[in-house]
Chain A
Amino acid sequence: MKLITAIIREVQLDKVREALIESGINRITVSLVSGNGRQRVEEMYRGLTIVPDLIPKIRIEIAVNDESVETAVQTILKAARTNGPEGSSGDGKIFIIPLEECIRIRTGEKGPSAI
């Protein structure tokens, strides 16, 4: 079991979510986060061009069984890229970490079948 955390652009949320559901992954957690990366955005605020300190991003968390990791990653890669297949700075990152245990609260069931 793995825990996939993807940090993506806010505007790509719907596209990524729809693509994940399409490929059979529909148990996800989404939150709004902000952070610094390589991306430099300029925004207009009251007629001035400013560079905000922290850029709002979307964090998607998905717990998956080992055989679904590749599907999830490929789906996110494809859907989260902007500016065609080559992508652009600020499209985000994917982190994968081993997941020690997964427990379904309703039944107390443990392991891969609980995912």
Chain B
Amino acid sequence: MKRFITLTVLLLAASPVILASEQTPVDSGATAWMLTSTALVLLMVPGLAMFYGGLVRSKNVLGTVMHSFAAMGIITVLWMAVGYAMSFGTNVLGGFFGWNKDYFLLKGIDSNILEAGVPEYVFTMFQGKFAIITPALIAGAFAERISFKAYCFFIALWSLLVYNPLCHWVWASDGFLYNLGAKGAIDFAGGTVVHISAGVSGLVAALFLGSRRGYPYQVIRPNNLVITMLGAGLLWVGWFGFNAGSSISSGLSTAQALTATQIAAASGALTWIVIEGFHQGKATALGFASGILAGLVAVTPAAGVVQPYGALFIGISASILCYLAIQVKNRLGYDDSLDAFGIHGIGGIAGALLLTFFIRPSWMSEAAEVSSSGSWSVWNQLGVQALAVGVAIAYAAVMTLVILYLLNKVVKIKSDDQDEMAGLDRSYHGERGYGMVNPS
């Protein structure tokens, strides 16, 4: 792998000489880091497959793992065909999404170098990995009870109708949330686009489909927490690509994002087991993993603008809020099976709002300079953040409900009782995850 990257970097470093003179030269340092980040974000998808896969019953392990893997296939193809054009093209239909005919099937970007000195292909693939992991996150909300065929159609439609427009609004240079307020709504690496949208959609889907058979009276135990822990570890490692890669450079801002990421993950994990220790008397492995994720999710929108003490606070608060959210879920009794909303929804919302209070002073003074009134306060920015969060929640919720309602007319989304009792592995894949393991 290392040799492959080195080779790629050498080739890219050599290419500007051959390419036309008016082109921006390739910044080999930035490109090398972006290639690494792209690979790291892809690593999060099998990480997520392991995290979710270990948490379900043994009869559903492969079906659950396949939810993540299927996303790699379906979304990559959609992304190269239209997703990149819809997300990063110029405004069409009043800015509802973007379009650029050069991006259709990635036909016209063969020799493009972005201003950051990174070939556009790298940026396309990097962003494509975000598009893959987002619908895969939703799968946690309706684990163990969805037909595989319906899932495939659902994530394809969701990616086109929810992810691409949101991504355009938040990250495209002419997106309306990108241009809100003085310096735009802050979403460094996908708090609103990835986590809030996936979490809220998961909640809507869990409510729409109803709970699993026997939930909550029948105990539904994880089949293999070791796999879950390894998955959480891979997610943590991959998150450095997710956050630090979102600087689209290899320099100071990359280092700032990387530091914030590490600190929030650690403080989130630590906080979770401390709460558990007081509340239940025992610190669980699953609790530690949940805390890692809560911290990482919350720091995702914030990584580019907060200093280490801010990341520490965000990680701690995210764990407290997500822990409370899961207690509330248990009281209310809806079946968000693997807590997609409890972690990603709540963590994402917490991060997007809390980050406002920890923005580094240099960012605020830049915002004041470009603002029309010449000043920009924390409260101004909080309003912008709240609006972006509100838009993401409302849009994701309504659109997901529409997709589910219409799709359900064509393909039955929820597994029938027979399939659910037999398990997703046997019913939809004709395979078994393990050999002779006792049923759980």
Contact = CB atoms under 8 A, between A and B. Distances in A.
Given A14-B213, A14-B421, A15-B421, A32 B430 contact: no
Contacts of B426: 10-11
Interface in B390-440: 418, 421-423, 426, 430, 432, 436-439
A34 B436 contact: yes
Interface of A: 10-15, 18, 30-32, 34, 43-44, 56, 58
Given A10-B439, A11-B426, A31-B438, 19 more contacts: A10-B422, A10-B426, A11-B421, A11-B422, A11-B423, A12-B421, A13-B439, A14-B421, A15-B421, A18-B214, A30-B438, A32-B437, A32-B438, A32-B439, A34-B436, A43-B430, A44-B430, A56-B432, A58-B439
A43 B431 CA distance: 9
B302 to A, nearest CB: 44
Given A14-B213, A43-B430, A44-B430, A32 B422 contact: no
A14 B144 CA distance: 14
Given A11-B422, A43-B430, A32 B213 contact: no
Contacts of A43: 430
16 contacts: A10-B426, A11-B426, A12-B421, A13-B421, A13-B439, A14-B213, A14-B421, A15-B421, A18-B214, A30-B438, A30-B439, A31-B438, A32-B437, A32-B438, A56-B436, A58-B439
Contacts of A12: 421
Contacts of A14: 213, 421
Contacts of A31: 438
Contacts of A56: 432, 436
Nearest to A30: B439
Contacts of A13: 421, 439
Contacts of A44: 430
A14 B438 CA distance: 14
Contacts of B418: 11
Contacts of A58: 439
Nearest to A82: B418
A44 B429 CA distance: 10
Nearest to B434: A32
Interface in B34-86: none
Interface string B76-115: 0000000000000000000000000000000000000000
Nearest to A54: B436
